[in-house]
Amino acid sequence: MAEFTLELNDDQKQIRDWLNGFAKDVMRPAAAEWDEREETPWPVIQEAAKVGIYSLDFYAQQFFDPTGLGIPMAMEELFWGDAGIGLSIVGTGLAAVGVLANGTEEQIGTWIPQMYGDVDDVKVAAFCSSEPDAGSDVGAMRTRAVYDEAKDEWVLNGTKTWATNGGIANVHVVVAVVDPELGSKGHASFIVPPNTPGLSQGQKFKKHGIRASHTAEVVLENARVPGSCLLGGKEKLDERLVRARERAKSGGERVKNAAMATFEASRPAVGAMAVGTARAAYEVALDYAMTRSQFGRPIVDNQGIAFQLADMRTQIDAARLLVWRASWMAVTGKPFTSAEGSMSKLYASETAKKVTAQAIQILGGNGFTREYPVERMHRDAAIYTIFEGTSEIQRLVIARTLSGMPIR
């Protein structure tokens, strides 16, 4: 078991510096353009694929880092570059985590490579869980999956929303209800292969922030997928449903559903994204405060500015420590007995919103314009307290974990 450490090893430092260089030289110069265009930055994803950042091998290497710091380190550097482009580069990873968390070895080997494509023909993937009436309340999910035993196919019907890469993805991972009587315990995840009839893109959303990341509805109308596309397989699903029914009758301990398992695995990574955005805004504010003069001296000499910068840096470092602890706990198999994963996501996301707002204040009128990146960073930071579990839901998870109450 890896010891918990705050010191990156030489290999990790080399990867961090490599990612930082890509973020600085490729992502940042393109950030404002793709934010304005509100389109997927395919050329940047292509560049990321060419150098090996957008690839299954790279993310697998970070995912299996025995210290647990590979993924949060990578997320922080890429989102330090730009949150919208960063999400376009890493958004496929949520679908990949969905397969890793719930799929068989054969499914992992078959579908995850198709999510990324190759250097000459890059692809993206989408994880589809939220619905118009089922966001934080996963128990309200209505998308149905019905098994056609004669054809060994599952028939999917419903509408998903807020899907990163939804509709443009090569592979969609869809969470659907297989047993409505079990609520969220009657859910399962399915692979929807490329060009499946019955799957289409619905509304594409025009967003406040992360505009370079494609977000849309995914509509499923009698979309048929082979039985082999049920993640984990039918035998495993049937066993899980039997246990869930028995627990429901006895009032016993609840089991995790497929969507919740995916989100629990990814929340520290989202926290790392927020840390990257906060760090970027802090650095702009610090540089500005040291070079901007008013009343004959740099504004950093004013206590009101200096104390803000001190608080910003302290909060960023504290957020990173929570993220690293949760990531280390996850990779070493230590249970989140105090909801440490949710803690890291909660604190880091709230820190990003606060720090980016303070950065705008320090820059004054300049911070309110698009000539400086902090206004974009502030718009981008708003998403961290919303997606993959709102701050309110994180607090609920933490409180219920501490009190021993069930997490539904």
The rounded distance, in Å, linking the Cα atoms of 396 and 129 is: 20
Catalytic residue among 47, 77, 340, 388: 388
Distances in whole angstroms, Cα of residue 268 to Cα of each of 5, 18, 41, 107, 367: 17, 22, 25, 25, 29
The rounded distance, in Å, linking the Cα atoms of 282 and 199 is: 42
Task: Retrieve residue 306's tokens.
Answer: 């200096």
Beta-carbon contacts of residue 37 (< 8 Å; ≥ 6 apart): 211, 212
Would residue 371 show up in a list of annotated catalytic residues for this protein? Answer: no
Helix (H) or strand (E) holding 393: helix 391-403
CB of 185 within 8 A of CB of 214?
A: no
The rounded distance, in Å, linking the Cα atoms of 117 and 48 is: 13
The rounded distance, in Å, linking the Cα atoms of 398 and 408 is: 13
Nearest CA to 360 among 305, 399, 313, 314? 305
Could you identify the residue written with the tokens 């009758």? 249
Q: How many helices and strands, by DSSP H and E, does the chain display?
A: 14, 11
Active site residue ranges: 388
